Amino acid sequence: MRVVLAEDLFLLRDGLVRMLEAFGFTIVAAVEDGAELERALLEHRPDVAIVDVRLPPTFTDEGIRAALRVRERVPRLPILVLSQYVEQIYASELLADGSGAIGYLLKERVTDSAQFVEAVRRIAEGGTVMDPEVIAKLLRRHRTDDPIAELTPREREVLSLMAEGRSNSAISKHLVITERAVAKHTANIFMKLDLPVSDDDNRRVRAVLAYLDRDRGADTPLPRPVARGEPARRTGGRRP
């Protein structure tokens, strides 16, 4: 499997190259900045690209922007974005085109090489992989009046793993339960959350993420209150 790697820190780049090669991947290019990444992706058309978010020259979100630009020209080019931190906004942007073959993981996930390599393979095959941290953040913000609250702890676990992009068999292995039990849980989840049932992992991830990410109560907008009263406190400096 041919890989293009973009990571500006030498130590990490070197480590990733060695790890991936040990697992039988071929590194066709290991680049250091956004412009090089774009060129390498268009030239090599790899089976999967592994991209650090922060790259020179801007050291902001160069990696994501370069990756998304390339995907506009080469749809469904599999890309795994690595980051020191995960943000909902980046996750939504990466998922926006809805075509799968996308991953978004915390950098530290590379320390579990077996799982990491498994994630890279899934993305290369067109799957979607989301970091558990993204899912955890999405789950955390839901309040008690949400249908999510009706899920059993086991169902919540299954939901998280589904949102990370795992298939039923992967979930059954992870939780050490039978695949039939997983299927039962997923059916329950989809019923409780009123989601369309789907066996396609990609579509399933998107449905679950969209559910978690949806604008809660957009159907019944809250009236915006009108301010009244004097400032209880107004302090600070003088305008020049």
Partner 1 sequence: MTGENRTGARTARRTAPAPGSGLRAAGRGLLLFSSFLLGVVLLVFLLCSIALIPVGIGLFTTPWAIAAIRSHTGLRRDLAERWSGLRIPAPYQAEPGFGSGAAGRIRQVAWTLGDRATWRDALWLLTAPVVGGVVTLLPAALLLAPVWGVVYQFVWPSLAMAGGGTWFLFVPVGNQVHALVALPLTLWTIPVLARYGSALVDADARFAALLLGPDQRARLGHRVDLLQRTREDAVDTSAAELRRIERDLHDGAQARFVAVGMTLDTAEQLLDHDVQAARAMLKEARAASGKALSELRDLVRGIHPPILADRGLGDAVRTIALESPLRVEVDVDLPDARPPAPVEAAVYFGICEALANAAKHSEARGVWIDVGHADGVLRAVVTDDGRGGADPGRGGGIEGITRRLATFDGILALISPEGGPTVVTMEVPCALS
| 137 in contact with partner 1 (CB under 8 A) | yes
In the structure encoding, which two tokens stand for residue 158, read together? 């299954």
89 interacts with partner 1 by CB under 8 A: yes
Cα separation of 52 and 77, whole Å?
16
Query: Which residues in 173-202 contact partner 1 (CB under 8 A)?
Result: none
In order, the DSSP letters of 26-74 are: EEEEEESSHHHHHHHHHHH--SEEEEESS-TTTSSSHHHHHHHHHHHHS
The rounded distance, in Å, linking the Cα atoms of 191 and 232 is: 49
Write out the H or E segment, with its range, that includes residue 5: strand 2-6
Among positions 26, 142, 165, 205, the unique one binding partner 1 when judged by CB under 8 A:
142
216 lines the binding site for partner 1 (CB under 8 A): yes
Does residue 219 belong to the site contacting partner 1 (CB under 8 A)? no
Question: Quick check: 22 binds partner 1 (CB under 8 A)?
Answer: no
Residue 100 near residue 202, CB atoms below 8 Å: yes
> Binding of partner 1 at residue 60 (CB under 8 A)?
yes
114 binds partner 1 (CB under 8 A): no
Contacts 24+ apart (CB under 8 A), 213-221: 213/88, 213/92, 213/138, 216/142, 216/146
From the list 8, 32, 36, 87, which residue makes contact with partner 1 (rule: CB under 8 A)? 87
Specify whether the CB–CB gap between 15 and 106 falls below 8 A: no
- Binding segment for partner 1 (CB under 8 A), chosen from 24-32, 96-104, 134-142, 161-169, is 134-142
Candidate segments 24-32, 133-141, 172-180, 202-210, binder of partner 1 by CB under 8 A: 133-141
Q: Is 115 in the site for partner 1 (CB under 8 A)?
A: no
Residue ranges in contact with partner 1 by CB under 8 A:
53-54, 60-61, 84-85, 87-89, 108, 111-112, 137, 140-143, 213, 215-217, 222-240
